[in-house]
């Protein structure tokens, strides 16, 4: 064999071997990529695949003012936890607890006990830690200490509007008030990322398997104005202190639309610390608490009698000098009058006069009018926990019932129902559905829900409503029971109420519900408001306790809302506050 031939053969062999090696590598590559056994592939996929749920911020709750103040929003926080096995192995438990206790607030004994559990690899040190504090912890670079992202609901205005807003529980679910009612809009929908990890357990973006984008929670915009709410709550707090009342509430409504502008209830709580709140603090008394309305209820019966044409404002009634025996029961007036006409029965709040009007109206007609005013039924406000009140069916009325219902006894209503009666009169006799949610707007700006004013029904004729407005305005004028509700430059219409509370099945002689419900301006009504105090002391009448609060709030509200007094309206008489000037 020649030298050339031998050299050529060796070259071919080498090339062939290299070729074979290359082919082998290619085959191995193909096998690794496509053809590895099923089990290996499954194990590999399991260890190198991860799924991450993308939590979304819950939607905000905004007020209805032009500045759209934020009433509730989600804020990012951190959950700080440790791996006890790491801390124990390096004998760092006490040092870690000491370092962290200077920055965070926690029970050191409890946390130390948790970190000393030998069989555990996870123990919370502190939850919902603000980012600023978490950053300080991070600087310490403590071994075995880790942080997870979390979020918490924050209410920047603290207790303002607390019962209406409600709160979110530790699982992030709305559990009270609007947070509960609007859960489906506020919570949004979480996203998902499914992807593969590299050898350093980092996500390989090019191997992302699935990505479902998260949908942020929608914003809920209320009709309630935070400035009006503040005015109301401030006045209510000072009146609560002044009158040493057990509880109180105020509702303010826009007459023509039914929008609720403010709703406050006392006692209250801070939703940022909802765990510390007791049940009575969480109750929204404005819609959930039913009470016998007392004299304020006379408005509905007298309006019905005028509408039915049974009486006229000048129709005279014998008011029996303040003491009348009817169906073997005595009915008394707070101030004794021998005779009063319908207009003065309302102005002086005569029980006997109102009872006689109710008897003249008759049970059936009275029932029809009361139901038209929505007595005994829910108004359907967009808040959880609304009560419908207690109103017996007319068939079950005793002979004395109409005379007692006419003065607000034997019937229970919510503050919202009572306000609705006055607002109906102010709104030309049309009952409007009250609402607190103006609209719901998605994160991308799409309007998901827009509420429009909704008329429920006509309760009385327009001319009767106008007549009732003028009669109710007299209540707040000289000689009426509601003079303290007056607002300078405006004519105010309203009615006082002082209801004895039923305690142990009997009407109490010491515990009262003092209320005032009214609207203004009489000529072109803009706002209606009810103020109710539960067991005020020492003054206990609506005229002395609630009417001044109405006046105090209304005085500021007309200026804030820019309500213009009607041409030629006479400045209201405002009696000087006096402890002895009790009115019924």
Positions that interact with other proteins (CB under 8 A): 4, 8, 11-12, 15, 19, 22, 26, 57, 67, 69-71, 73-76, 131, 154, 156-158, 160, 202-206, 226-227, 230-231, 488-489, 555-556, 559-560, 564-565
- Judged by beta carbon, residue 230 or residue 397, the one nearer other proteins is 230
Beta carbon nearer to other proteins, 146 or 461: 146
Which tokens hold the place of 528? 């209606």
Query: What is the C-alpha to C-alpha distance for residues 72 and 152, in angstroms, rounded to an integer?
Result: 10
What are the structure tokens assigned to 30, written together?
Answer: 């193909």
Residue (6 or 121) nearer to other proteins, CB: 6
Q: How far is the CB of 237 from other proteins (least distance, A)?
A: 11
CA angle 30–31–32, rounded 5-degree value: 90
**In the complex with other proteins, which residue's Cβ is closer, 113 or 135?**
135
Q: Please identify, using beta-carbon distances, which residue of 52 and 510 lies nearer to other proteins.
A: 52
Whats the size of the chain, residue-wise? 584
Nearest distance in Å: CB 484, other proteins:
19
Q: Decide: helix, strand or coil at residue 480.
A: coil
Taking the C-alpha atoms of residue 540 and residue 534, their distance in angstroms, rounded to an integer, is: 9
Q: How far is the CB of 137 from other proteins (least distance, A)?
A: 16
- Residues 383, 181 contacting (CB under 8 angstroms): yes
Residue nearer to other proteins on the CB measure, 10 or 329: 10
Which is nearer to other proteins, 507 or 560 (by Cβ)?
560
| Minimum CB distance to other proteins, residue 4 (Å) | 7
Shortest distance (Å) from residue 560 CB to other proteins: 8
**Torsion over CA of 267, 271, 274 and 278, rounded to 10 degrees?**
10
As a whole number of angstroms, the distance between CA 431 and CA 39 comes to: 71
DSSP label at residue 319: -
d(CA 103, CA 351): 65
Going by C-beta distance under 8 Å and a sequence separation of 6 or more, which residues neighbour residue 37? none
Closer CB to other proteins, 154 or 363, in the complex: 154
- Residue 372, φ and ψ in degrees, nearest 5: -65, -30
Query: Smallest gap, in angstroms, from Cβ of residue 236 to other proteins?
Result: 14
Rg of the chain, C-alpha, whole Å: 36
Could you tell me if 281 and 275 are in contact, meaning their C-beta atoms sit under 8 angstroms apart? no
Shortest Cβ distance from residue 18 to other proteins (Å)? 10
Report the residue number, 147 or 231, with the smaller CB distance to other proteins.
Answer: 231
Q: Minimum Å distance from CB 120 to other proteins?
A: 30
Cα 281 to Cα 115: distance, rounded to the nearest angstrom: 37
Q: Which residues contact 268 (CB under 8 A, 6 or more apart)?
A: 159, 162, 163, 233, 281
Pairing of strands 61-62, 219-222: parallel
Q: How far is the CB of 304 from other proteins (least distance, A)?
A: 37
Rounded least distance, CB 478 to other proteins, Å: 20
Give the integer Cα–Cα distance in Å for 160 and 330.
Answer: 45
Peptide bond just before 40 cis, omega within 30 deg: no
User: Which is closer to other proteins, CB of 56 or CB of 419?
Assistant: 56
DSSP for 471-484, please give it: HHHHHTSTTSTTGG
| Residue 157, SS3 per DSSP | coil
Question: Which lies closer to other proteins via its Cβ, residue 156 or residue 479?
Answer: 156
Q: Whose Cβ is closer to other proteins: residue 158's or residue 510's?
A: 158
Distance (Å, rounded) from C-alpha 40 to C-alpha 46?
10
When the beta carbons of 120 and 556 are compared against other proteins, the nearer one is: 556
Is the Cβ–Cβ distance between 283 and 453 less than 8 Å?
no
- State in angstroms the smallest separation of the CB of 226 from other proteins: 6
Residues with Cβ within 8 Å of residue 559, at least 6 apart in sequence: none
User: How far separated are the first and last CA of the chain, in Å rounded?
Assistant: 136
What secondary structure does DSSP assign to 271-291, as a single string? Answer: GGGGGG--HHHH--HHHH-EE
């Amino acid at each position: 064999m020649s030298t050339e031939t031998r050299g050529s053969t060796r070259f071919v062999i080498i090339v062939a071997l290299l070729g074979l090696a290359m082919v082998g590598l290619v085959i191995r590559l193909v096998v690794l990529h496509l053809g590895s056994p099923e089990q290996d592939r499954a194990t590999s996929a399991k260890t190198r695949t991860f799924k991450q749920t993308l939590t979304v911020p819950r939607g905000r709750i905004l007020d209805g003012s032009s500045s759209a103040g934020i009433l509730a929003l989600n804020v990012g926080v951190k959950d700080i936890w440790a791996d006890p096995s790491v801390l124990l192995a390096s004998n760092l438990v006490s040092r870690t607890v000491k370092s962290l206790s200077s920055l965070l607030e926690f029970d050191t004994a409890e946390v130390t006990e948790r970190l000393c559990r030998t069989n555990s690899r996870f123990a919370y040190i502190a939850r919902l830690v603000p980012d600023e504090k978490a950053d300080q912890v991070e600087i310490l670079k403590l071994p075995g200490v880790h942080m997870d992202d979390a979020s918490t609901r924050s209410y920047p205005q603290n207790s303002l509007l607390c019962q209406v807003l409600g709160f979110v529980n530790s699982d992030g679910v709305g559990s009270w008030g609007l947070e509960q009612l609007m859960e489906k809009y506020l919570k949004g929908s979480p996203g998902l990322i499914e992807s593969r990890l590299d050898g350093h357990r980092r996500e390989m973006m090019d191997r992302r398997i699935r990505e479902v984008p998260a949908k942020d929670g929608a914003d809920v915009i209320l009709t309630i104005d935070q400035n009006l709410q503040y005015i109301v709550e401030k006045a209510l707090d000072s009146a609560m202190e002044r009158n040493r009342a057990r509880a109180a509430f105020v509702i303010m409504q826009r007459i023509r639309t039914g929008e609720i502008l403010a709703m406050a209830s006392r006692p209250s709580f801070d939703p940022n610390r909802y765990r510390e709140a007791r049940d009575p603090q969480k109750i929204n008394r404005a819609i959930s608490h039913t009470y016998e309305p007392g004299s304020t209820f006379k408005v509905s019966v007298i309006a019905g009698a005028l509408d039915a044409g049974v009486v006229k404002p000048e129709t005279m009634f014998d008011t029996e000098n303040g003491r009348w025996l009817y169906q073997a029961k005595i009915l008394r007036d707070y101030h004794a009058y021998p005779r009063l006409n319908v207009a003065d029965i309302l102005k002086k709040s005569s029980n006997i006069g109102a009872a006689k009007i109710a008897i003249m109206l008759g049970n059936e007609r009275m029932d029809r009018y009361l139901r038209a005013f929505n007595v005994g039924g829910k108004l359907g406000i967009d808040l959880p926990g609304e009560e419908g009140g207690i109103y017996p069916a007319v068939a079950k009325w005793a002979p004395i019932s109409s005379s007692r219902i006419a003065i607000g006894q034997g019937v229970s209503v919510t503050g919202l129902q009572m306000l609705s009666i006055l607002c109906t009169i102010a709104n030309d006799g049309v009952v409007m559905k009250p609402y607190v949610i103006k609209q719901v707007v998605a994160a991308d700006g799409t309007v998901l829900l827009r509420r429009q004013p909704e008329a429920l029904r006509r309760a009385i004729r327009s001319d009767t409503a106008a007549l009732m407005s003028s009669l109710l305005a007299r209540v707040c004028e000289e000689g009426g029971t509601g003079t303290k509700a007056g607002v300078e430059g405006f004519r105010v219409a309203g009615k006082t109420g002082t209801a004895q509370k039923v305690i142990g099945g009997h009407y109490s002689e010491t515990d009262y519900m003092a209320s005032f419900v009214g609207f203004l301006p009489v000529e072109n009504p803009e706002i209606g408001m009810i103020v109710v105090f539960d067991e005020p002391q020492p003054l206990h009448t609506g005229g002395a306790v609630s009417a001044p609060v109405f006046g105090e709030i209304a005085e500021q509200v007309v200026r804030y809302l820019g309500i213009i007094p009607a041409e030629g309206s006479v400045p209201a008489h405002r009696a000087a506050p006096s402890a002895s000037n009790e009115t019924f």
